[in-house]
Structure 1
């Protein structure tokens, strides 16, 4: 990142995501305590980074040398420290980090305001303000911390991680891991991940400007339960969404959820209607469940084309499913317009008139399972002047069935290759659903392998059809927001 870009960022987070030295304060024999941050950063050490486990009670743990304190002569300047001690000890350790001039500190420990301990919360806030005078900044408490696949730092041993273009801030450690597991398993990856916890110092707002100017970040993911600096947050969102999409999952959407937020992070969740209005006004992609959240991120992490309008063509091999998808699109505010006469004629030349319908939604009949024929149809409908987006289904779990029926072993690969050729020729928004209908392990594997292969070709493949429709509508709205901003700035 250039120095000019850094000048406009309130907090320079480079040493947080690209540290050279890490201290873990409070390591012990408890393998799921602080020592796990040492285990998690073995690749960081192999790449030349230094990790310093700290606890005066030990000289060695699990083969690692342990240092008595941050001020041991062998402990150098620290870029990133993890605090993993009992809550009552945290304020004093925070002060030590300030005296050491540690650049960034992750407070893994919990038991403060989110647990109703207002006295200890107040003591922690005072200690944090003192340490900040020496330039130390804090993440947490009650969080996992940082993962950056490029610098090889990680918050949990064995948790999936891969380099990619998604930057993620989460107020939930559990949701941090959930998203990582899903995205990495399908071939996506991350540039930066922050499990931020209760945000006693640095808040999601502080990360938006950094991610906006980070060349490795294409899309920003936020799981938020509350926001402590609403006005600053809105201003940061306004600076960010014209440049990069923000996909938001808001926790605490009901009375029960709002109460749960208070005990989870100690924050005030706020009205869900206000959050939705904010998202609509400032071009944020709003999602109301985790599955939609991860699917939207999948769509925005590829080299996508934003639809200019709601016109969708539904292309499937099957009458019932074509009706269902069309209904779903209409419910989500999309349109399923008639195809041009020329398009219908061209489809009639591709498929024989057996159990087919070429109006929109399209039912190709059984011949739609022939990869080469389906690819021809995909290209034809994508070129229709009435169509902006194509939503089609490829049931990967059936590849082996039709391969046997048609006497060809290359069904899967030919399907992938033929669709990929169309994607390269026609630059229109396209989305695929696998429409799962088999629960056997072989079916899950087939769907995943197909999804991974198509994502490499920049085609998002989503299992749940209603999510595809919702995402297409959100993309239309985002495109209109960008056009609006463009006009205002011109």
Structure 2
């Protein structure tokens, strides 16, 4: 199979070769084994492929049906006349050994095992079954994703395990042990126009696991940001080795669950994962600049920061606000997250005196443009025009908006014009009641302007990215000095 071998301090780890990677994210042919005739759980795989318009060779295997949803079926995998790169197994647990033997005989490249009922149930027997799967795969020359997983989402290849998933491809990679979380997170990101290169739901990971998948995504130039939902893993040594080689290359946003007793028990019953002690994971993340988050909102916020922010500067922030209270809250959020309230230049202050009304406003930081700015949006936009030219500012946080949809559309158009003139980060905060409608915010997302619902969420995400950048700069400098 041509797999590279790397010895971790725990066990031998096999890293995927290019043929395996190609079959994972852009297979030329797929066979679905055990597709139900009725509308049952396994049918979503077929519906997902048809919905995204998969254009490769698609085969269905069923022991008795002649056709399913108008597509001809084959009685067995070996009856298929053409080559099969990927097999998706929907069959019950009892038939798994016959199916895997057929995969070896057919010389497939990748097998996705949706089938469940193994180590997530607990007990040594079920874990030995997974070890046997891995041995069959290695002797048969193929690799396994799963069992107990939803498999692959790759919009560039029109590959999805669910219908109605986004068709637009991007540069985000998502690795998750939970298949349902795959769809929830990808669809939530799509509302922000954040799009994915690929996502792998790997379940119990009897063969291909997190370390291998990270090795691939870290070195794939088409992936710019990686995020991961992780319950646990068998070989932390392999993960340590991958981080040591590659963690500086690009940000990894990691949501590690199972840190409590209840969470650990839930992870064991979900994917059979051994979660490990929280403080050990935290130490590993700090050592290698991994961005740790604790829920789906934090993961989305941070992925948006990694995708949209310029990744430059020292974290010097200016706040521009009409409402006063939120500006105070935003100032707290800046310092609480280790960022710096920027000092405006004398030139900027003088120019603002000519723009803002003399009363009810402030020319410090925060810059208070006054409540009248909700009626006269030019106060916001003219202030931004001044501050994007201030060399002491890296990021501008804008709080507020207009009082009608039409005014907010004008406001959004103005923000986009300002962004086109600068490399500084514009961060828009839209409190409930201010500019919350998706159709109004969509142009901001389309032009790469991050939008958050509170300044606290915005500053936390921005600070996380800056900490990774400092780790990255230190790592690159250390490498340069050692040469």
TM-score (norm 2): 0.90
Q: Does residue 1:455 correspond to 2:461, yes or no?
A: no
Pick from 153, 159, 175 the counterpart of residue 169 of structure 1. Answer: 175
3-state SS in 1 of match to 2:174: strand
Report the CA distance between 1:321 and its aligned residue: 0.8
Pick from 429, 432, 448 the counterpart of residue 428 of structure 2. Answer: 432
Pick from 327, 330, 333 the counterpart of residue 335 of structure 2. Answer: 330
3-state SS in 2 of match to 1:66: strand
> Are the equivalent residues in 2 in contact too, given 1:249–1:289 (CA < 8 A)?
yes
Partner Cα separation in structure 1 for residue 107 and residue 28 of structure 2: 15
Pick from 288, 312, 316 the counterpart of residue 311 of structure 1. Answer: 316
3-state SS in 2 of match to 1:52: strand
> Are the equivalent residues in 2 in contact too, given 1:112–1:118 (CA < 8 A)?
no
Partner Cα separation in structure 1 for residue 391 and residue 48 of structure 2: 53
Pick from 47, 52, 68 the counterpart of residue 75 of structure 2. Answer: 68
> Are the equivalent residues in 1 in contact too, given 2:329–2:455 (CA < 8 A)?
no
Partner Cα separation in structure 1 for residue 203 and residue 38 of structure 2: 22
Alignment CA distance shift 1:238-1:421 (3 Å): farther
| Equivalent in the alignment of 1:340 | 345
Report the CA distance between 1:384 and its aligned residue: 3.1
| Equivalent in the alignment of 1:52 | 59
| Equivalent in the alignment of 2:474 | 484
3-state SS in 1 of match to 2:363: coil
Pick from 459, 462, 472 the counterpart of residue 462 of structure 2. Answer: 472
3-state SS in 2 of match to 1:312: strand
| Equivalent in the alignment of 2:3 | none
Structure 1: gaps (5+ residues): 1-7, 401-408
Query: Can you list the C-alpha shifts for 1:427-471, whole angstroms capped at 9, x where unaligned?
Result: 223311112237xxxx64x2x224321122221111132211111
> Are the equivalent residues in 2 in contact too, given 1:23–1:80 (CA < 8 A)?
yes
Partner Cα separation in structure 1 for residue 312 and residue 321 of structure 2: 20
Partner Cα separation in structure 1 for residue 263 and residue 329 of structure 2: 32
Partner Cα separation in structure 2 for residue 175 and residue 297 of structure 1: 15
Pick from 402, 411, 414 the counterpart of residue 415 of structure 1. Answer: 411
Alignment CA distance shift 1:292-1:395 (3 Å): farther
Query: Can you list the C-alpha shifts for 1:280-299, whole angstroms capped at 9, x where unaligned?
Result: 22122211111010111122
Partner Cα separation in structure 2 for residue 242 and residue 233 of structure 1: 14
Report the CA distance between 1:77 and its aligned residue: 2.0
Q: What RMSD over aligned residues (CA atoms) do the two structures have, in Å?
A: 2.2
> Are the equivalent residues in 1 in contact too, given 2:172–2:197 (CA < 8 A)?
yes
3-state SS in 1 of match to 2:148: coil
1:154-193 matches, within 5 Å, as 154-193=160-199
> Are the equivalent residues in 2 in contact too, given 1:283–1:477 (CA < 8 A)?
yes
Report the CA distance between 1:117 and its aligned residue: 4.6
Report the CA distance between 1:140 and its aligned residue: 0.7
Deviates more, 1:355-364 or 1:313-322: 355-364
Report the CA distance between 1:90 and its aligned residue: 1.9
Partner Cα separation in structure 2 for residue 449 and residue 237 of structure 1: 40
Partner Cα separation in structure 1 for residue 471 and residue 281 of structure 2: 17
The total of aligned residue pairs comes to 464
Deviates more, 1:133-142 or 1:385-394: 385-394
Alignment CA distance shift 1:354-1:463 (3 Å): same
Structure 2: gaps (5+ residues): 1-13
Pick from 16, 20, 30 the counterpart of residue 24 of structure 2. Answer: 16
> Are the equivalent residues in 1 in contact too, given 2:155–2:166 (CA < 8 A)?
no
Partner Cα separation in structure 2 for residue 320 and residue 43 of structure 1: 47
| Equivalent in the alignment of 1:358 | 363
Deviates more, 1:192-201 or 1:23-32: 23-32
Alignment CA distance shift 1:458-1:239 (3 Å): farther
Report the CA distance between 1:136 and its aligned residue: 0.7
| Equivalent in the alignment of 1:196 | 202
Report the CA distance between 1:390 and its aligned residue: 1.7
Report the CA distance between 1:307 and its aligned residue: 4.4
| Equivalent in the alignment of 1:293 | 299
TM-score (norm 1): 0.89
